[in-house]
Amino acid sequence: MCADRPVILMAEKLTKRFGGLAALIDYDLALGAGEILGLIGPNGAGKTTAFNLLTGVLVPTAGRIGLCGLDLTGAAPEAFARAGVARTFQNIRLFRDLTLWENVAVGFHMREGPGWFATVFALPGIRARETRLRDRAVELLARLGVEDAPDTRAGDLPYGLQRKVEIARALATAPVVLLLDEPAAGLNPAETARLTETLRDLAETDGVTMVVVEHDMRLVMALCSRIQVLNRGLLLAEGAPYHIQRDPAVVEAYLGSKRRVHAHA
């Protein structure tokens, strides 16, 4: 972490066991405002477990989690969300029968009360509020590169664009920390490049701290200032992309070969 930035998200000796299986062991994390951390590793390495612990979906067996000095260890997902933690999922979880802007508007509800939620479901007396809400949702969608047809039903959208709508909805909650699970899944190279620039801008301009799990190494190496590599529940390596892609232990455990690593640099 950059020494001149206060710690925003912290994990200390975080451990999760399922019976006799240790899915994550003594995991440490310290992130400052606007930092983007890549979390990579082979299947079963513990990435999803780490994500679920850092969002309250799982309760740790041992260790601590803090956000902006607030101890969230063992708290419910709702408490994590209220504190400023938002996430996307590997499997998209949009409301398929709502429009794109209505899906994003659901994210505003958490910060702005039930009046905004009522707007989405067209309760009485909401015309002006609906217009304002729609404008804000459309602005977020445009920032994610979904400029057209905000009134389209979410379920009718291609998979890659649905992924972007899900990120826009997460941003509508005004998160301090955003955890992205496979954000580039379903995107073509041009879309991935645009998403990379958008996420970088969110970090640099808005100060959003991010943790990104992604198999697209081009995105990880281009976007993340720091990378952690998990293997069998343990932190195998941590450092800048340049060092991670040349670490022999990482090459052996995850990236496969030096030729493959350099190809993705």
Helix (H) or strand (E) holding 226: strand 226-231
Whether residues 76 and 193 share a domain: the answer is yes
Verify that 66 and 108 share a domain, yes or no. no
Q: Does a structural domain hold residue 90?
A: no
Strand-by-strand arrangement of the 177-181 sheet: 85-87, 177-181, 209-213, 36-40, 226-231, 234-239
Q: Quick one: tokens of 146?
A: 């979904």
Q: What is the pLDDT of residues 144-179, one digit of tens each?
A: 988 888 889 999 988 888 999 999 999 999 999 999
Task: Please tell me whether residues 205 and 149 are part of one structural domain.
Answer: no
Please calculate the CA angle 87-46-238 and round it to the nearest 5 degrees. Answer: 90
Same-domain pairing of 4 and 123 = no
Domain boundary among 174, 193, 216: 174
Q: 50: number of CA atoms within 13 Å, CB side?
A: 34
Which pLDDT belongs to residue 145? 87
Residues of the chain with pLDDT under 50: 1-4, 257-265
pLDDT of the residue at 106: 87
Contacts of 232 (CB under 8 A, 6+ apart): 44, 45, 46
- 124 domain-assigned: yes
- Check residue 254 and give its pLDDT: 63
In 3-state terms, what secondary structure has residue 210?
strand
- Flag whether 91 is in a domain: no
Total number of domains constituting the chain: 2
Q: What is the pLDDT of residues 42-76, one digit of tens each?
A: 888 999 999 999 999 999 999 999 999 899 999 99
Q: How far is CA 98 from the centre of its chain?
A: 22
The whole-angstrom separation of Cα 33 and Cα 216 is: 24
Other CB atoms within 10 Å distance of the CB of residue 4: 6
Can you give the pLDDT at residue 120?
Answer: 55
> What's the pLDDT at 231?
92
Range of the domain at 11: 1-84+175-265
Is residue 183 in a domain?
Answer: yes
